[in-house]
Amino acid sequence: MSLKEKIEELKRESAGKIPEDAKKVMKRATEDLVKSGIEENIPKVGSKAYDFTLQNYDGSQVTLSEETQKGPVILSFYRGGWCPVCNLELNYLQSKLSDFQNYGANLIAISPEVPEYANETVERHNIKFPVLYDKDNRVAAKYGLVFKLPDDLVEIYEKSGLDVAKHNGNDKFEIPIPATFVVGRDLTLKYVFGKADYNQRAEPDDIIEVLKKL
């Protein structure tokens, strides 16, 4: 089953659990974000990746340019461990990790969540790749991914028990749109996938096809 099919299955299973008024707010928020043109801000294939050093969930430091010296790097930006689709994607990426490694690639996930919550996500999915803390979305901003959650959506989240401010360690209510990049050894972007609709995610099989050509 593809990741897209798994996401569609998740949507069907959760459809009856979300109140209708919440569905309308979530749908409108997604539509408005798509219309905002945020996808146009994302770097294109062939451009240079922004280099960075971020803290891994275990406290170690990870530098992109050092990782690319070992081979191609798959960067996966996700919203947070509170997001069901992100959890599904991370679990799916973990299941494909050995396939990526067979082509000499390393996988790195990035989120604005504080390490405490990132660690919970790592344990939940038995993740064996770095999950980096992008404090205040500073790196995600360099990749054109950051937006502010609308107030009515924040209210919906809070009513459901989700405290985004606590997860992110600030009250900016900013998160990245989900995006995936394949970064070559020379820091050139070989593959780019980023969509304002958080239900759309890069297919690991598509990533593998790119890796085959590197």
Q: What is the pLDDT of residue 41?
A: 96
Q: pLDDT tens for residues 118-173? A: 999 999 999 999 999 999 999 999 999 999 999 999 999 999 999 999 999 999 99
**Total count of residues recorded for the chain:** 214
What is the CATH code for 3-212? 3.40.30.10
What the block records as the tokens of 13 is 């299973």
With beta carbons less than 8 A apart as the criterion, state whether 72 and 104 touch: yes
pTM over 0.85: yes
The CA-based diameter of the chain, rounded to the nearest angstrom, is 49
pLDDT in tens, the chain (214 residues): 899 999 999 999 988 888 999 999 999 999 999 999 999 999 999 999 999 999 999 999 999 999 999 999 999 999 999 999 999 999 999 999 999 999 999 999 999 999 999 999 999 999 999 999 999 999 999 999 999 999 999 999 999 999 999 999 999 999 999 999 999 999 999 999 999 999 999 999 999 999 999 9
Classify strands 174-176 and 61-63 as parallel, antiparallel or unpaired: unpaired
Q: How far apart are CA 23 and CA 56, in angstroms?
A: 34
